[in-house]
């Protein structure tokens, strides 16, 4: 199914915009196909995202691989720091360009 990122194209903070761009840039850099679902364009997506996450207060960005929940930006950041981004995205057999030495 691939990666799905719930995000907001209309952000209220610079930090949120930066975090979302970091996730997208990482996916692009790793050549992982993904789909963006914009909560700003369709209000029903927020309810869908929160139901899938299991948290009625969850905020974008939220990341899924198919039906498997990967996490939010904080979990993404922790995986980057630990050099476990492939495990975070739940992808196998990828050449992780971010951890090459």
Q: Where are the beta strands (DSSP E) in 1-101?
A: 3-7, 34-38, 62-65, 68-72
Token pair 């090459």 is found at 100
Which residues contact residue 30 at a Cβ distance below 8 angstroms, ignoring those fewer than 6 apart? 85, 89, 94, 96, 97, 98
Nearest Cα neighbor of 23 from 67, 88, 95, 93 is: 88
Average pLDDT value for residue range 25-37? 97
pLDDT at 12: 86
The answer to whether residue 97 scores a pLDDT higher than 50 is no
Task: Provide CATH code, domain 3-92.
Answer: 3.40.30.10
Q: Is the pTM of this model over 0.75?
A: yes
Tell me the domain boundaries of the chain: 3-92
Percentages (nearest 5) of helix, strand, coil residues in the chain: 45, 20, 40
């Amino acid at each position: 199914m691939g990666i799905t990122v719930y995000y907001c194209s209309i952000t209220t903070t610079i930090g949120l915009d930066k975090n979302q761009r970091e996730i997208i840039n990482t996916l692009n850099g790793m050549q992982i196909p993904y789909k963006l679902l914009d909560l700003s364009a369709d209000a029903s997506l927020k309810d869908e995202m929160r139901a899938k996450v299991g948290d009625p207060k969850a905020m974008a960005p939220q990341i899924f691989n198919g039906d498997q929940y990967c996490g939010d930006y904080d979990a993404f950041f922790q995986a980057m720091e630990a050099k476990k981004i492939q495990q975070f995205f739940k992808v196998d057999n990828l050449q992780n360009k971010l951890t090459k030495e």
